[in-house]
Protein backbone atom coordinates (compact mmCIF):
# COMPACT_ATOMS: atom_id res chain seq x y z
CA UNK A 1 0.00 0.00 0.00
CA UNK A 2 1.04 3.58 -0.54
CA UNK A 3 3.12 5.19 2.22
CA UNK A 4 0.91 8.21 2.81
CA UNK A 5 0.82 8.40 6.62
CA UNK A 6 3.16 10.32 8.92
CA UNK A 7 5.87 8.16 10.41
CA UNK A 8 6.84 10.09 13.56
CA UNK A 9 6.92 7.68 16.51
CA UNK A 10 6.37 4.62 14.31
CA UNK A 11 8.74 1.65 14.32
CA UNK A 12 10.48 1.37 10.93
CA UNK A 13 9.82 -2.37 10.96
CA UNK A 14 6.41 -3.49 12.19
CA UNK A 15 4.77 -0.08 11.89
CA UNK A 16 2.07 1.12 9.52
CA UNK A 17 2.69 4.00 7.12
CA UNK A 18 -0.51 3.80 5.07
CA UNK A 19 -3.78 5.45 6.12
CA UNK A 20 -5.70 2.55 4.56
CA UNK A 21 -3.76 0.01 6.67
CA UNK A 22 -4.36 2.06 9.83
CA UNK A 23 -8.11 2.08 9.10
CA UNK A 24 -8.13 -1.66 8.46
CA UNK A 25 -6.22 -2.27 11.71
CA UNK A 26 -8.71 -0.16 13.69
CA UNK A 27 -11.61 -2.17 12.22
CA UNK A 28 -9.75 -5.38 13.03
CA UNK A 29 -9.15 -4.40 16.67
CA UNK A 30 -12.73 -3.22 17.24
CA UNK A 31 -14.14 -6.37 15.60
CA UNK A 32 -11.96 -8.69 17.67
CA UNK A 33 -12.57 -6.93 21.01
CA UNK A 34 -16.36 -6.84 20.55
CA UNK A 35 -16.72 -4.01 23.06
CA UNK A 36 -16.56 -0.21 23.03
CA UNK A 37 -13.02 1.14 23.16
CA UNK A 38 -12.22 4.63 24.51
CA UNK A 39 -11.13 6.95 21.70
CA UNK A 40 -8.06 8.24 23.51
CA UNK A 41 -6.99 4.76 24.57
CA UNK A 42 -7.05 3.48 20.99
CA UNK A 43 -4.95 6.41 19.76
CA UNK A 44 -2.46 5.99 22.63
CA UNK A 45 -2.30 2.23 22.22
CA UNK A 46 -1.27 2.31 18.57
CA UNK A 47 1.06 5.26 19.12
CA UNK A 48 2.89 3.91 22.20
CA UNK A 49 3.20 0.45 20.65
CA UNK A 50 4.90 2.28 17.71
CA UNK A 51 2.40 0.78 15.27
CA UNK A 52 1.00 4.04 13.89
CA UNK A 53 1.37 7.78 14.35
CA UNK A 54 -1.12 9.10 16.91
CA UNK A 55 -2.34 11.94 14.67
CA UNK A 56 -2.87 9.48 11.82
CA UNK A 57 -4.85 7.16 14.11
CA UNK A 58 -7.02 10.06 15.25
CA UNK A 59 -7.66 11.12 11.63
CA UNK A 60 -8.43 7.51 10.68
CA UNK A 61 -10.97 7.20 13.51
CA UNK A 62 -12.80 10.33 12.35
CA UNK A 63 -12.75 9.13 8.74
CA UNK A 64 -14.09 5.69 9.72
CA UNK A 65 -16.85 7.31 11.78
CA UNK A 66 -17.81 9.64 8.93
CA UNK A 67 -18.02 6.69 6.54
CA UNK A 68 -20.16 4.61 8.93
CA UNK A 69 -17.57 1.91 9.67
CA UNK A 70 -17.49 2.77 13.40
CA UNK A 71 -19.81 4.72 15.69
CA UNK A 72 -19.15 6.90 18.69
CA UNK A 73 -20.84 5.66 21.87
CA UNK A 74 -20.76 6.56 25.55
CA UNK A 75 -19.57 3.84 27.90
CA UNK A 76 -19.30 4.75 31.58
CA UNK A 77 -19.24 8.44 30.59
CA UNK A 78 -16.26 7.85 28.26
CA UNK A 79 -16.32 8.63 24.55
CA UNK A 80 -15.74 5.27 22.87
CA UNK A 81 -15.83 3.74 19.41
CA UNK A 82 -17.63 0.58 18.41
CA UNK A 83 -17.53 -1.29 15.10
CA UNK A 84 -20.63 -1.32 12.85
CA UNK A 85 -21.78 -4.18 10.62
CA UNK A 86 -20.33 -2.28 7.67
CA UNK A 87 -16.98 -2.01 9.49
CA UNK A 88 -17.06 -5.74 10.32
CA UNK A 89 -17.61 -6.48 6.64
CA UNK A 90 -14.60 -4.34 5.66
CA UNK A 91 -12.51 -6.11 8.31
CA UNK A 92 -13.54 -9.52 7.03
CA UNK A 93 -12.63 -8.54 3.47
CA UNK A 94 -9.37 -6.66 4.06
CA UNK A 95 -7.74 -7.78 7.32
CA UNK A 96 -5.61 -10.36 5.48
CA UNK A 97 -3.79 -7.45 3.83
CA UNK A 98 -2.17 -6.56 7.19
CA UNK A 99 0.98 -8.28 8.44
CA UNK A 100 0.11 -10.97 11.01
CA UNK A 101 2.78 -9.69 13.40
CA UNK A 102 1.20 -6.22 13.44
CA UNK A 103 -2.28 -7.66 13.97
CA UNK A 104 -1.10 -9.96 16.75
CA UNK A 105 0.95 -7.29 18.54
CA UNK A 106 -1.79 -4.67 18.37
CA UNK A 107 -4.55 -7.11 19.38
CA UNK A 108 -2.55 -8.38 22.37
CA UNK A 109 -1.98 -4.79 23.52
CA UNK A 110 -5.66 -3.95 22.94
CA UNK A 111 -6.79 -6.98 24.96
CA UNK A 112 -4.54 -5.94 27.86
CA UNK A 113 -5.94 -2.40 27.66
CA UNK A 114 -9.54 -3.69 27.62
CA UNK A 115 -8.90 -6.05 30.55
CA UNK A 116 -7.27 -3.27 32.55
CA UNK A 117 -10.27 -1.04 31.86
CA UNK A 118 -12.72 -3.76 32.96
CA UNK A 119 -10.62 -4.48 36.05
CA UNK A 120 -10.55 -0.78 36.95
CA UNK A 121 -14.36 -0.73 36.88
CA UNK A 122 -14.42 -3.64 39.33
CA UNK A 123 -11.67 -2.43 41.65
CA UNK A 124 -11.03 0.23 44.23
CA UNK A 125 -7.38 0.97 44.92
CA UNK A 126 -6.29 3.47 47.55
CA UNK A 127 -2.81 4.72 48.38
CA UNK A 128 -2.77 6.15 51.91
CA UNK A 129 -0.29 7.52 54.42
CA UNK A 130 -0.82 6.67 58.09
CA UNK A 131 1.57 7.50 60.93
CA UNK A 132 4.51 7.99 58.55
CA UNK A 133 3.88 4.71 56.71
CA UNK A 134 2.56 4.17 53.19
CA UNK A 135 -0.19 1.63 52.51
CA UNK A 136 -1.88 0.40 49.37
CA UNK A 137 -5.33 -1.15 49.65
CA UNK A 138 -6.53 -3.17 46.66
CA UNK A 139 -10.20 -4.10 46.69
CA UNK A 140 -11.99 -6.27 44.14
CA UNK A 141 -15.65 -5.32 43.88
CA UNK A 142 -18.72 -7.42 43.22
CA UNK A 143 -20.93 -4.64 41.91
CA UNK A 144 -20.60 -2.02 44.62
CA UNK A 145 -19.75 -4.48 47.42
CA UNK A 146 -16.20 -5.47 48.34
CA UNK A 147 -15.43 -9.06 47.39
CA UNK A 148 -11.80 -9.19 48.52
CA UNK A 149 -9.60 -6.49 50.03
CA UNK A 150 -5.85 -6.59 50.62
CA UNK A 151 -4.04 -3.86 52.56
CA UNK A 152 -0.25 -3.82 52.38
CA UNK A 153 2.49 -1.76 53.94
CA UNK A 154 4.79 -0.58 51.12
CA UNK A 155 8.12 1.19 51.06
CA UNK A 156 6.91 4.28 49.18
CA UNK A 157 4.37 5.69 46.70
CA UNK A 158 6.30 4.25 43.75
CA UNK A 159 5.97 0.72 45.13
CA UNK A 160 2.29 1.34 45.88
CA UNK A 161 1.72 2.46 42.29
CA UNK A 162 3.51 -0.63 40.92
CA UNK A 163 1.23 -2.83 43.03
CA UNK A 164 -1.80 -0.83 41.90
CA UNK A 165 -0.84 -1.31 38.24
CA UNK A 166 -0.24 -5.03 38.72
CA UNK A 167 -3.61 -5.41 40.46
CA UNK A 168 -5.33 -3.59 37.58
CA UNK A 169 -3.60 -5.87 35.07
CA UNK A 170 -4.31 -9.16 36.85
CA UNK A 171 -7.00 -8.65 39.51
CA UNK A 172 -9.10 -11.73 38.59
CA UNK A 173 -6.03 -13.97 38.73
CA UNK A 174 -4.82 -12.38 41.98
CA UNK A 175 -8.22 -12.80 43.64
CA UNK A 176 -8.52 -16.39 42.45
CA UNK A 177 -5.06 -17.23 43.80
CA UNK A 178 -5.77 -15.65 47.21
CA UNK A 179 -9.17 -17.34 47.51
CA UNK A 180 -7.68 -20.69 46.48
CA UNK A 181 -4.90 -20.35 49.07
CA UNK A 182 -7.33 -19.38 51.83
CA UNK A 183 -9.88 -22.10 51.09
CA UNK A 184 -7.49 -24.95 50.26
CA UNK A 185 -7.79 -28.00 52.48
CA UNK A 186 -4.79 -28.63 54.74
CA UNK A 187 -2.88 -31.79 53.94
Select from 91, 93, 29, 19 the least CA-distant residue to 56. 19
Q: Are 50 and 14 in contact (CB under 8 A)?
A: yes
Produce one character per residue of 47-59: b if its CB has 16 or more CB atoms within 10 Å, e if not. bebbbbbbebbbb
Residue 152: helix, strand or coil by DSSP? strand
pLDDT by 10-residue block (mean), the chain, 187 residues:
54 72 94 92 89 89 96 89 94 88 91 87 92 94 89 95 91 89 83
pTM comes to 0.74
Percent with pLDDT over 90 in the chain: 52
Q: Say what the alpha-carbon torsion angle 69, 72, 73, 78 is, to the nearest 10 degrees.
A: 140
Asked if residues 42 and 61 have their Cβ atoms less than 8 Å apart, the reply is: yes
What does the pLDDT look like over 2-54, one tens digit per residue?
555 545 556 556 677 778 899 999 999 999 999 999 989 999 999 888 888 88
What single DSSP character describes residue 10? -
Q: Which residues contact 139 (CB under 8 A, 6 or more apart)?
A: 123, 124, 125, 126, 146, 147, 148, 149, 150
Q: Domains (ranges, CATH) in the chain?
A: 19-120 (1.10.10.10), 122-183 (no CATH)
Residue 76: per-residue pLDDT = 80
Amino acid sequence: MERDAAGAGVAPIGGLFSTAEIKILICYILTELQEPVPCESLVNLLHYEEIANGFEVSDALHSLENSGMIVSVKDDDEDCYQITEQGKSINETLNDSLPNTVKRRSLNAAKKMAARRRNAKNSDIQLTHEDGATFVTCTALDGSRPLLSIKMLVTDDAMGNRIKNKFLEDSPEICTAVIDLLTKESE
